[in-house]
Structure 1
Amino acid sequence: MKKLTTATIATLGLVTAGIAIQGEADAAEQAQWITSYNTTYSEMTHDYVTIDNLGNRHHTLDGNWDPSMFQNDAYYSQYVDEEGHTHYIYYLTDNDYSLNQSHESIQANGYQGYIGQSDYVTPYQSSYNSENYNAYENNTTHWSANNTNQVGYGTQNGNNTASQAPTVQAPTTNGSQNDGSANIKPASSKATGSAGWLNKYPQWQPYGQYHGGGAHYGVDYGMPVGTPVYSFTDGRVIDSGWSNYGGGNQITIQEAGTNNYQWYMHLSQLNVKKGDTVSEGQQIGLSGNTGNSTGPHLHFQRMQGGIGNQYAVNPTGYLASK
């Protein structure tokens, strides 16, 4: 972490009392106990992190954070790291706003790829939702964008040399299914098979709505760049490459024998290519921080009936069953 700026206000002697209520009070109640804070730039998350005297971490793109933002619930999402610190994100995180394409159109004409409104499109029958693209255009200035194309093809020959997801023992505690609320939970404790490797990583943002408004079409798991990513399904790779519309290095897989599709986004390396057949549990890439990304993580999105945010469904139950 490279320290760039420091902002401090006088300590009023309430630090101990403030820490005591940290886990119990909401943001507005905690804000009154914030008496000092300092801001540094994080090379890991590519944003400014302000740490207050309660131990909370506040992430902004410009470093201009103050307690009133916390008091007014101005953050969009939150998560708890492995050390128990709560992180609050004050800017919109990722989605991919490539054009929507129906399953029927994909079967008849092939997938058009990660394209947007201004790209050349081969004519096909599809109900394009321009609202999604406009939302992307309106919000890109508020997002942390890492647009370096880091494509690095490793395993290109399908299943022959691909590694498999590690076996995970079932936990002894029962996890509750995420309902899309803003209270970020650890990764589902029910996933013990091909998705069981997610258990060790925090869930940054669930499917549904951001705390500060706006839709999130998948689920985000924070993990270091270079973490192996495994397919959650048997299927066929529909596309594998760079998306200019938020996903960065992105893989699209069609679930075998269905009209369901999956997106794996922000990868640092792609280990499969378009047309490959993949098996459930097969390594398909490495996690990263490419595209419109708040920090190193995996965005997983499941879609029914086509590809695009219009077809997104809550993947929580699906992952818990894997």
Structure 2
Amino acid sequence: MSKRTISRRPGSSVLRQRAAVVAAGFGLSAALGAGVALAADSAQGPLPAVSAASVQAQADAQAKAAASAKQAAAKAEAAAVKAKQAAAKKAASWIDPVTHYQLSAGYNQGGSMWSTGKHSGQDFAVPIGTNVMAVHGGTVVKTGGNGAGDGPAYGNAVVIKHANGTYSQYAHLSRIDVHVGQSVSTGQHIARSGNTGNSSGPHLHFEIRTTPNYGSAVNPVAFMHSKGVKV
């Protein structure tokens, strides 16, 4: 029987030793890398556990917040629409020229106080300095003493032209706070009541006219009633 020949060359033994060292080195590096990764994960700490119930609670809270925001937006939009409608209604409406008044001399009433023998408007008995308002939106076409050109009996006066072709006149004023060409809205302050001109006492003389001038007056109470104003 033949015997195997065992190589005793020095070089082969050295190579085997080097290979073993390299393999050991790779193993050590891998172990160190795993340790570093484990240390990093440990430093960050474990993620908190989230239960299905808490996730549902979060979803419910977010849905509730979204619904509340939607309701708030809808409410704001409704308020804006309501305000717009109110503004449109005010622009289209007619009002009394003063508040907290008593009616005194009426339209077409006879008496020696008027040069024609007939009263051309409706008097509102109010204290001097009472706020006088535009009964409807329009444009100021006449202002000033001498009845704004209609005669000294009216004292200080204002005439406003309205879009429907009618005119409103305010007389015996103590102060005028608008000017010719100015646009005014329903309820806007235009003057202060007084006792100027041919006046028997503090009051506002109010007319509705078909022109801006004296002699074209119609019954102001009947006209205002037709506009929904209960004078």
The equivalent residue for 1:280 is 186
Q: Where does structure 1 lack aligned partners over 5 or more consecutive residues?
A: 1-191
The superposition leaves residues 39-88 of structure 1 with CA deviations (integer Å, 9 ceiling, x where unpaired) of: xxxxxxxxxxxxxxxxxxxxxxxxxxxxxxxxxxxxxxxxxxxxxxxxxx
Q: Which residues in structure 2 correspond to 1:157-306 (within 5 Å)?
A: 194-195=95-96, 197-198=98-99, 200-210=100-110, 214-243=117-146, 244-256=151-163, 258-304=164-210, 306=211
Which structure dedicates a bigger proportion of its chain to strand? 1
Please tell me whether the aligned partners of residues 138 and 162 of structure 2 are also in contact (alpha carbons under 8 angstroms): yes
Hey, what's the Cα distance between the residues in 2 that align with 1:267 and 1:309?
17
Hey, what's the Cα distance between the residues in 2 that align with 1:229 and 1:319?
16
Could you tell me which amino acid in structure 1 is paired with residue 152 of structure 2?
A: Y
Q: Which residues in structure 2 correspond to 1:309-320 (within 5 Å)?
A: 309-320=214-225
**TM-score, scaled to structure 1:** 0.37
Quote how far apart the aligned CAs of 1:317 are: 2.3
Hey, what's the Cα distance between the residues in 2 that align with 1:211 and 1:242?
24
Quote how far apart the aligned CAs of 1:201 are: 1.2
Q: Any idea what SS the aligned residue of 1:215 has?
A: coil
Please tell me whether the aligned partners of residues 94 and 224 of structure 2 are also in contact (alpha carbons under 8 angstroms): no
Hey, what's the Cα distance between the residues in 2 that align with 1:193 and 1:303?
15
Q: Any idea what SS the aligned residue of 1:307 has?
A: coil
Quote how far apart the aligned CAs of 1:195 are: 1.3
Select the structure of larger CA radius of gyration. Answer: 2
Could you tell me which amino acid in structure 2 is paired with residue 223 of structure 1?
A: V
Please give the root-mean-square deviation of Cα atoms over the aligned residues, in Å.
2.1
Hey, what's the Cα distance between the residues in 2 that align with 1:219 and 1:197?
12
- State the aligned residue count: 128
Hey, what's the Cα distance between the residues in 2 that align with 1:293 and 1:197?
18
Q: Any idea what SS the aligned residue of 1:209 has?
A: coil
Q: Where does structure 2 lack aligned partners over 5 or more consecutive residues?
A: 1-92
Quote how far apart the aligned CAs of 1:271 are: 1.1
Quote how far apart the aligned CAs of 1:308 are: 2.9
Quote how far apart the aligned CAs of 1:210 are: 1.6
- After superposition, the Cα gap between the structure-2 partners of 1:293 and 1:211, relative to the gap in structure 1 and judged at 3 Å, is closer
**TM-score, scaled to structure 2:** 0.51
Percent identical among aligned pairs is 37
Could you tell me which amino acid in structure 2 is paired with residue 310 of structure 1?
A: G
The equivalent residue for 1:121 is none
Quote how far apart the aligned CAs of 1:259 are: 2.4
Hey, what's the Cα distance between the residues in 2 that align with 1:230 and 1:210?
27
